[in-house]
Amino acid sequence: MKIKILDYNDEFQLDNLIDLTEKSVSNEKYWLPISDKSREHFFDKKWTCFFGAFLDEQLIGTVGLFFNKNEYDESRKEIKLNDDGIAEVGRIMCHPDYRNKRVASRLMEEMMDYVNKTDLKILLATAHPENEPSQKLLRKYGFVKKGFIVKSGNYERDILTRKVHI
Ligand SMILES: CC(C)(COP(=O)(O)OP(=O)(O)OC[C@H]1O[C@@H](n2cnc3c(N)ncnc32)[C@H](O)[C@@H]1OP(=O)(O)O)[C@@H](O)C(=O)NCCC(=O)NCCS
């Protein structure tokens, strides 16, 4: 398995993996629909950085890092976090054929190595309280629950954070 940062050339595969994830998610409440604005900035380096896992050239998993406050500000305010050096970790997905084989874990490790070399101070993530794989993954990588929010009307989310440099 190879991991790299995605660029425009990976757009088609990323769209396919998103479609597949949306169709295969065990509870539709676990996957917050992607806004047009967020999607427009998927390959805008100031806004988003997607780490992608490839097996034989096929994209099988992603972890997204979102630097723009439009992505995380609602959650940040909810837990009264200072707006200083924050990025949101999200759009974590693994192709259904490869789940529970550490694909997302390997991506989280790669993302953490990257983040350690930046000025970022805090990572924020949200997960449905009952999305066990997502909750386990985040907690394994040091995320701790700091609050709760209902996003876009009816998407319940725990808000979790971790310091970049512990
Ligand atoms: C969440 C998701 C990305 C995890 O990907 P993955 O590659 O299967 O994750 P990993 O294999 O690295 O496992 C991560 C942890 O979750 C656990 N886990 C994985 N699948 C699980 C399952 N079905 N039930 C319970 N725990 C599970 C693993 O045991 C591991 O914990 P551990 O290392 O302490 O044992 C994947 O389940 C997925 O794509 N879900 C649909 C999309 C989604 O809900 N994304 C999160 C919202 S942003």
Enumerate the domain spans of the chain: 2-163
**Which residue's CA is the nearest one to ligand 1's atom 22?**
133
pLDDT of residue 154: 92
110 alpha carbon, distance to own chain's centre: 13
Residue nearest to atom 12 of ligand 1 (CA): 102
| pLDDT at residue 80, as a whole number | 98
In short, whether 135's Cβ falls inside 6 Å of ligand 1 is: no
Q: For residue 16, is pLDDT > 90? A: yes
Cβ–ligand 1 contact at 27 (below 6 Å): no
- Chain centroid to Cα 82, Å, comes to 21
pLDDT tens across 22-76, in order?
999 999 999 999 999 999 999 999 999 999 999 999 999 999 999 999 999 999 9
Reported as a single tens digit per residue, the pLDDT across 119-163 is 999 999 999 999 999 999 999 999 999 999 999 989 999 999 999
pLDDT score of 166: 79
Please give the distance, rounded to the nearest whole angstrom, from the Cα atom of residue 21 to the centre of ligand 1: 13
- Per-residue pLDDT, averaged over 2-14, amounts to 98
Give the integer Cα–Cα distance in Å for 25 and 22: 6
Among protein residues, the one with the nearest Cα to ligand 1's atom 15 is: 137
DSSP state for residue 32 in the 8-state scheme: P
pTM: 0.97
Mean pLDDT of the chain: 97
- What gap in Å lies between CA 94 and CA 60, rounded to an integer? 6
Assign domain 2-163 to its CATH architecture: 3-Layer(aba) Sandwich (3.40)
Query: What confidence tens digit (pLDDT) does each residue in 73-117 have?
Result: 999 999 999 999 999 999 999 999 999 999 999 999 999 999 999
71/28 Cα distance (integer angstroms)? 20
End-to-end CA separation in angstroms for the chain: 29
* Residue 48 neighbours by CB distance under 10 Å: 23
